[in-house]
Structure 1
Amino acid sequence: MKSTKSILGLLIIIALYYLLPLAFRNLWQPDETRYAEISREMLESGDWIVPHFLGLRYFEKPAIGYWINNLSQLLFGHTNFSVRFGSAFSISVTTLIVYWLALRFWQEQYLALTAAMIFSSFLLVYSIGTYSVLDPMLTLWLATTMCSCWQAIHAPHGWGKKIGYLIVGVTCGLGFMTKGFLALVLPILSVLPWVIVRKSWKEVLCYGPLTLLSAVMISSPWIFAIAQREPDFWHYFIWIEHIQRFAEENAQHKAPFWYYLPVFLAGALPWMALIPVALHSAWQERHTKDEALYLLGWIIMPLIFFSLSKGKLPTYILPCFTPLSLLMARYATRWGERALKINATVNVLFGVICIAFLSGAAYTLGLVDTSFFSLTEGKKELLAVMSFIVWSIVGLITLKSPITRWRWAALCPLGIALLIGEMIPQKISDTKQPHSFINMVRPQLEKSRFILTNSVGIAAGLAWELQRSDILLLEEQGELAYGLRYPDARGHFIRQASFANWLHERCKTNEGSVSLILLLDDGKFPRNNFPPADAIFQRGRMVFLTYHQSKSWLSC
C-alpha cells in the first residue's frame, strides 16, 4: 500500500513538474532560443551532420543533443513544449534509473521510490530539467554509464562481464556525442576512488579496451562524417570548447573555486539539510558498503573537477544530484527526527525569506536596492508570493510530523513549478524572454526584408518566432564569432559604424524594408548613433526601429 502511494506520488510529481509547465513559459535567451533554432534549422535543411545557427556553422557541441531536440520538434511541432521536452524526457528517464539503481543496491522498493522522488524534486534538477540545454541529456548518459559500470564490475567473468563493459562504452559514446569529452572524463573520475580502494585496476585495464572499442564504434560514423564535411570542426571543438573553457584565463563564465558550494547547497533544496547526514553516513560506511564509496566518488569527483575549471555554470554539476538522491534516501533517517526537523525548518525559513524579498518587504527595510516587481505588476507579485507560501506550508506540514511526513518536502517546489511562467518580472522578461516583445512588432518584422539585432540571444528568438534563419548581427558577434570568420558568412555581420552606409546601399538597390531590434545595456537609446527611423518603439531595455524605402533622407 505504501509503495503504491509512492508510485502515484512520483508520477504526479513528474507530470506536474516536468510535463504540464513546459508549454506555458516563454523561451529564455540565449540558451533555449539557441537550441530551439539550431534544431529548427537542422529540420528545415535536412542536414543532421553539421549544426548551423542563424545560417552559420556552429561547432560548440556534437550532434546527439540536437537530434533529440529534432525528434521532439518532429513529434510536437514548432512549440515551446517541443523545445523543452528533450530535457524533461532525459530527467524523467534518469529518475527511473535512480529507482532501478536504488533497487539494485538495497532491494527495497519503497526506498527506491523515495530516491526517485528526491531526485525529481531537487530545485536544481527541476530547474534545469524543464530548461532546454544539453546537461539533462549528459546527466542521463552519465547515470546510464555508472549503472552499466556497476553491473559490469559485479557480473561473473565471461560473456556477461564483456557485454557489460561494451554497454559502458556505448553509453560513454552517446554521452560524448552529446557534450564531448566530459562524458568520458566524468565516469573515469567518478569510479576512480572505488577502483583504487577496491584494487580493481587489473579488471578495469583488462576490459577497458572493450569499452573504448564500443565507444568508438557508436560515435565514429558522425565523427568521420563531420570531419569530412567540416575539417575545422575538431580543432575548434577540442581547443576552444574544452581546453580554453577549462584552463585558459579568458575562459567563458569565469568564477572562483568555491562557486559550486552555494550552488550545490541551494540546488539540493528542499532536501538541503540532509546533505550532512547523507555524506557523513556514506563516508562512515565507505569500507563496508561498496555502494557508499561508489556514490561518494560520483558526487565528489565531478564537483572537484568542475571547481578546478576556470569556466563555471550551475548546469555543469547537475550529474552530481543523481547519486546524492540515492544517499539521501538511504541515510535520511540515520540521525532520526533531529535531521528531519532541521530540514523542515530550513524549508519554512527559505519560504518565508523568499516571501519577504518578493513582497517588497526587503526593499522597504532597505535590505535590497530595488523591488523585484514594478507598481503595475501586482498580479505577478501575488503569484510569486503564493508559490513560496506553498513552499512554507509544506515545510510546516513536515515540521509538525517529521518522521511520517518528511517525504512531503518533495511538494515544496510545486507552487514554483506551476506558477513560474506567470510571475516573471517584466524587466527580466523584456531582456530574457524576447517572445512577447517580438510579437508586439511582429507585423512590421514579417514585412521586413532585413532584420538586424545586437544580441545573439534575441537573434535566435527572432529566427525561432519568424521561422527564418537570415537574421543579421549588428556590432556584437558573441558565440557566433567563429562561424562569422568563414568567407560564406560575409554579410551576416555589420558594424554599427557602417550601419548607415549599409542602409543606404539597401535603399539604392531597392531591396526592401529593414527592421532593427536593440538590447540596451542601461535602457537609454542613443538616437544619435542611428539614422532617423520611420518608427521607433521601446519597452524596457529593448528598442525596435524600422526603415522603409520611402524615407526622404535616404533619397537614392
Structure 2
Amino acid sequence: MTGRRPFALWLVAVLFAALWFGTLEYRKLVKPDEGRYGEIPREMVATGDWLTPRLNGIKYFEKPPLQYWATAAAFSAFGEHHWTVRIWPALTGFLGILFSAWVAALLFGTAAGWVAASVLGGSFLYVMLGHTAVLDMSLSVFLASAVFAFVLAQRDGATPRQTRNWMWAAYALLALAVLTKGLVGLVLPGATLVAYIIWQRDWGLLKKLHLASGLALFFLIAAPWFVAVSLANPEFFNFFFIHEHFQRFLTKVHRRYAPMWYFVPILLVGLMPWTLALFGALRNAAKREAALRFQPQRFLLLWCVMVFGFFSVSSSKLVPYILPIFPALAALIGAWWMQASPAVLKWQALLWAPVGLAIVTAAPFMVVFGDEQMPVAMFEAWVPWMIAAGLGLAAASVLAHWLARRERRLAAAIALGLGGHFACQVGILGMDSIAPATSTWHISQKIRPELTPDMTFYSVGMYDQTIPFYLKRTVQMVEHTDELKYGIEWEPQKFMPTFAEFVTAWNAAPKAMAMMPPDVYQRFVTQNLPMREIARDTRRVFVVKP
C-alpha cells in the first residue's frame, strides 16, 4: 500500500463524517416518532424526573429510557434543537460504522473493513434511520456490536484474557440494548448462539461464555432502572413485559400485522445500492472454513437469519425492525467483495445507473400523491431533490463500474458507498418540503406570539406529536387519546374525555388557546363558542379565546 493511499482513505472518512453529521439540523421534526422522542427527553429536563418517562405529561412506558437519557443530556449540554433530538441515533449509527469496519478488517483484512464501512454508510435504510429520531438505530448498533464482540471473543487465536474481555463487552452491550428497547436485546443474540452451537455441534463454546461474571455485569447495568421504575409505578411491570413484549409478538393488538414476506422487499430496497452483493456474500458465508474451529462468517449469517426470521413470524412488523442485521451484512459483503470476480463487481456497480435514472424519470410524477392535506406544491418542491438523488446515484454507479473494470475494487466500493449515501441524504433532505403537513414547526412560529405562559393550550379532537416540543409545554388533550390510551387510564385526571367538558372549561377560562381539525372548528362556530382564529394549515385550525 503506497503512502498516498492511506491518506486518501482517511480524507474520504473525514468527508463522510462531515456529510453524516452536517445535515441533522436541517429538517423539521416529523410526527409521530421524532416528536415523541424529542418531547419525552424535553420533559425529563423540564421536570427533573429522569426515572418515569412521560409524553405530554402522561406516563409512557412503551420503551426503556436510554435514548431519552442521552437526548436529555444533549439538551442539557447544547439546548433543544433538531440536531440534538437526532444526535443519539446519528452518533450511535456512525460509531456502528466504525466498529463494523474495524471488526471486518480484523477478521477479513483491512480492505474488507473499508468495504464494510462503505456498505453500511451507503445503505439506504441505515442512512435514513441514522438521521431520524427513532430507537432502532441505537438498538441495532448495540445488538450488532454485541454480536461482533462475541465473534472476537470466540475467534481462533483469541487469548483467554481477550475472550473474557470481549465477552464482558458483549454482555455490557446487550444490557444497553435492553435499556434501549427491552427484552429483544437478549432474546435474539441468545437464539443465535443456540442455533450456532446446534449447527456446528460446538458444545465446547458453552465453557467460554463467562456466563456468571457476564450476567452479573449485564444485570448491574440493565436492572437498576427496571427495579426503580417498577417500585415507583406499580402498573409498569405488567404493561412493559406482558403487553409490550409477549402480546406485541404473539397477537395483533398493536395493529401492525403484515404478511411473512413483508421484510423481503424492505431488505432488498433498504440495502441499495448493495442488493446484488448480498446474494454472493450470503452464499460465501455459508461455506465452512476448514482451517477454523470457530466460524465467524457462519455465526454472522445465523445472526441475520435469526433476526429476519424472528420478525417475519412476529404479529407486529415495522420497517426498521430488521436494521440489526445490516452491520453483519456489511461485514460479510466486505469479505465477499475482496474475493469476487471483477466481472461480477462490474455489473454489481453498473446496475444502479439505470436505477438512478429511473428515479430521475419518476420524480416528477410524485405530484400525483398531492391532496388537500398535502398539496401538490409540496411534492413539486421535493421533485428537484429526488432528481439530484437519482443523478448522484447514477453517476456513482458509472464511476464504480469504471473503477471495477480497472480492478480497483476498494475504490469502486467507496465510490458506490458515497453515491448511495449522497442519494439517500439528498432524498431525505428534500422531504422537508412536505414538513408543513408532517410537522408543526411552521405553524408554531405563527401562534407562539399569542401564547402566554398562563394560557391553557387545548388539543381538541386531535393530537400532533410535534406540538408539545415546539411549544415547549404540554397540552390539554380533549376527546382524542392518540397513543396515550394506557397512560390516560393510569392518570385519567390529565385528560378531558368530551367536547362538552371542553366547552365548559373554555367558557370559564380568562385566556386560552386551542388546536382542532377544521370540521371540529366548524362545529364550534355553529355553537357560537367564543373564539378567534389566529392560524390554520391543511390539517389544523388554531384559535384563542377573545
**Same fold by TM-score, threshold 0.5 exceeded?**
yes
Distance 1:299 1:464 in 2: 37
Distance 2:443 2:267 in 1: 34
User: Which residue identity is paired with 1:133?
Assistant: V
**Pairs within 5 Å for 1:464-475:** 464-469=469-474, 471-475=475-479
Matched residue, 2:459: 453
Query: Which ranges in structure 1 are unaligned for 5 or more consecutive residues?
Result: 551-556
Q: How many residues align?
A: 529
Q: Conserved in 1, the CA contact under 8 Å of 2:120 and 2:327? A: yes
Secondary structure at the counterpart of residue 536 of structure 2: strand
Question: How far does residue 333 in structure 1 lie from its aligned partner after superposition?
Answer: 4.9
Distance 1:58 1:376 in 2: 33
Distance 1:72 1:337 in 2: 46
Per-residue Cα deviation, 1:472-503 (whole angstroms, up to 9, x for no partner): 2233212211110124x41x3334xx324422
Matched residue, 2:540: 543
**Structure 1 pair 406–242 and aligned structure 2 pair: CA distance change class (3 A):** same
The reply to whether residue 338 of structure 1 matches residue 343 of structure 2 is yes
Of 523, 527, 536, the match for 1:528 = 523
Distance 2:287 2:350 in 1: 26
Matched residue, 2:32: 30
Matched residue, 1:129: 130
Distance 2:412 2:461 in 1: 46
**Structure 1 pair 293–387 and aligned structure 2 pair: CA distance change class (3 A):** same
Distance 1:73 1:299 in 2: 35
User: Which residue identity is paired with 1:85?
Assistant: I
Query: Which ranges in structure 2 are unaligned for 5 or more consecutive residues?
Result: none
Q: Conserved in 2, the CA contact under 8 Å of 1:344 and 1:398? A: yes
**Which segment drifts farther, 311-320 or 471-480?**
471-480
User: Which residue identity is paired with 1:221?
Assistant: P
**Structure 1 pair 409–159 and aligned structure 2 pair: CA distance change class (3 A):** closer
Matched residue, 1:413: 420
Q: Conserved in 1, the CA contact under 8 Å of 2:456 and 2:511? A: yes
Of 171, 178, 181, the match for 2:173 = 171
Secondary structure at the counterpart of residue 483 of structure 2: helix
User: Which residue identity is paired with 2:522?
Assistant: R
TM-score, reference length from structure 1? 0.88
Of 184, 195, 203, the match for 1:201 = 203
**Structure 1 pair 417–376 and aligned structure 2 pair: CA distance change class (3 A):** closer
Per-residue Cα deviation, 1:447-470 (whole angstroms, up to 9, x for no partner): 772223358761x3221112112x
Per-residue Cα deviation, 1:143-165 (whole angstroms, up to 9, x for no partner): 22112222332476855544443
Distance 1:332 1:83 in 2: 36
Secondary structure at the counterpart of residue 412 of structure 1: helix
**Pairs within 5 Å for 1:66-465:** 66-106=68-108, 108-154=109-155, 161-204=163-206, 207-285=210-288, 290-360=295-365, 374=376, 378-402=380-404, 403-404=407-408, 405-407=411-413, 408-416=415-423, 419-420=426-427, 423-424=430-431, 428-446=434-452, 449-453=455-459, 458=464, 460-465=465-470
Work out the percentage of aligned pairs sharing the same amino acid.
Answer: 23
RMSD: 2.7
Per-residue Cα deviation, 1:24-48 (whole angstroms, up to 9, x for no partner): 1111111011011100111111111
TM-score, reference length from structure 2? 0.89
Distance 2:423 2:462 in 1: 29
Matched residue, 1:553: none
Secondary structure at the counterpart of residue 479 of structure 1: coil
Distance 2:334 2:92 in 1: 21
Distance 2:160 2:392 in 1: 54
Secondary structure at the counterpart of residue 24 of structure 1: coil
Secondary structure at the counterpart of residue 478 of structure 1: coil
The reply to whether residue 502 of structure 1 matches residue 502 of structure 2 is yes
Distance 2:379 2:38 in 1: 29
**Which segment drifts farther, 182-191 or 126-135?**
182-191
